[in-house]
Amino acid sequence: MNPLPLSVLLLARDESARLAALLPRLTFARQVLVVLDTATRDDSRDVALRAGAEVVERPLEDFGRQRQFGLECCREPWVLWVDADERLDDTAEAALRRAIEREGAAAGYRIERRTWFLGRMIRHCGWQGERILRLFRRERAHFEAAAVHERVTVEGEIADLDGLIEHHSYEDWRACREKLVRYAALGAEQARRSGRRSGALDLLFRPPLRFFRMYVLQAGFLDGGHGLALCALASTQVMLKYLDLWAEPARPPDPMDRRE
């Protein structure tokens, strides 16, 4: 099959092994663009180039700005945003191809994501049925500045695609610990930018409320020991986030965070 008029956009830092597994699966796109954090210390750049991807390097300010920079480097009329720890299943790839080839009215498409945690797919904890806007027309989209959990805004109709994005971000305990600390700091930075503060009530109530919501209200207990561990990690991340926010005073809001 001929490659689609599609740019695949990835951000990466020290992701050589995952890039080596993912990039050969992206031959359906005319352009595969890897935006590499200049702090990368492994051979991600060489791995990406050997696989035929384009590489641009830029210091990571935050994920939203990094993703927007990458979007501005994309050439094709359609863009697919994925991460190095994600895979499209065969159904999603076929649905993506049909959506682009038929040139329908939609300007963007959501795809359901399923996440694995320490080798087990999580079916509850609020992670079930998660649909994320990942395929969109390049000229109708932009990313908001965001320290973490960046989102794309698309002008026009949004539809859903069949298939799944398989997310394997939490493969071992060490990766879980590192991601917990990193995302707590990024979440605090994002809150700090918007002028939010943290106090005793946040530290006292937000972590147990997060655990209760995920484990009880969102039925995380049905995921067994993996669900319990995941909910405990999530509540710990909330605690670290608000401790970080409490320890360092908030700054005035960054006007880039309210980009129109």
CA neighbor of 63 nearest in space, from 181, 155, 151, 154: 151
pLDDT of residue 259: 45
Q: Confidence class of residue 260 from pLDDT cuts 50, 70 and 90?
A: very low
The pTM for the full model equals 0.85
pLDDT at residue 244 greater than cutoff 90 = yes
pLDDT at residue 190 greater than cutoff 90 = no
193 vs 36, higher pLDDT:
36
Could you give all domains of the chain from N- to C-terminal order, each with its CATH number? 4-170 (3.90.550.10), 173-258 (no CATH)
